[in-house]
């Protein structure tokens, strides 16, 4: 089943399919018509498309799915394998950078060249952290002569973001 969405033709001539639903637990969910939000191009003040908004229950479902993945398969995945996944994601973003920059330029109102730089930064960050994924180092800290303290870097867990 294909995700809910629309085909958009950008001012630069690039055409792309834009999913408009919620992606929760590896499934696309379409919100009712009265639970949609218009995405406006700030440069032209025209509507790009409308997207689904999440209910409190859907947000809870998304957090629970993320928590289950974090505490299950992701936790059991070796750092080297996590790093390879992040590198693969970087490659996918780089391969689609022109489309992603087009979307970012329309959504934010910034010039295409600036948006292209943002996308380059995004895939560079994925590569950077992909390289660190299997390098879990702690640190020992001298506090007193007969004591020693150490640090262990561990993921905190699931977090939520509101991104304008």
Q: What is the mean pLDDT of each run of 10 residues along the chain (164 residues)?
A: 90 94 92 86 94 91 92 89 97 98 95 97 97 87 83 78 66
Provide DSSP, the chain. Answer: -PPSEEEEE-TTS-EEEEE-SEEETTEEEPPPTTSEEEEEETTTTEEEEEEE---HHHHHHHHHHHHHHHHTHHHHS-HHHHHHHHHHHHHHHHHTHHHHHHHHHHHH---HHHHHHHHHHHHHHHHHHHHHTT----EEEEEETTEEEEE-------------
pLDDT in the model for residue 27 = 93
Domain ranges of the chain: 1-76, 78-135
pLDDT in the model for residue 151 = 86
pLDDT in the model for residue 163 = 66
């Amino acid at each position: 089943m294909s995700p809910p969405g629309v085909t958009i033709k950008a001012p630069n001539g690039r055409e792309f399919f834009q999913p408009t639903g919620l992606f929760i637990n590896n499934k696309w969910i379409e919100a009712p018509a009265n639970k949609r939000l218009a995405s406006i191009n700030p440069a032209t003040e025209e509507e790009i498309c409308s997207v689904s908004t999440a209910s409190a229950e859907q947000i809870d479902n998304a957090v629970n799915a993320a928590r289950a993945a974090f505490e299950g398969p992701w936790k059991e995945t070796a750092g080297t394998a996590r790093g390879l996944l992040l590198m693969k994601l970087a490659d996918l973003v780089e391969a689609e950078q022109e489309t992603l920059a087009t979307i970012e330029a329309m959504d934010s109102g910034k010039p295409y060249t600036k948006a292209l730089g943002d996308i380059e930064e995004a895939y560079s960050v994925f590569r950077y952290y992909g390289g660190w994924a299997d390098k879990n180092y702690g640190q020992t800290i001298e506090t007193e002569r007969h004591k020693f303290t150490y640090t262990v870097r561990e993921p905190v867990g699931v977090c939520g973001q509101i991104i304008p």
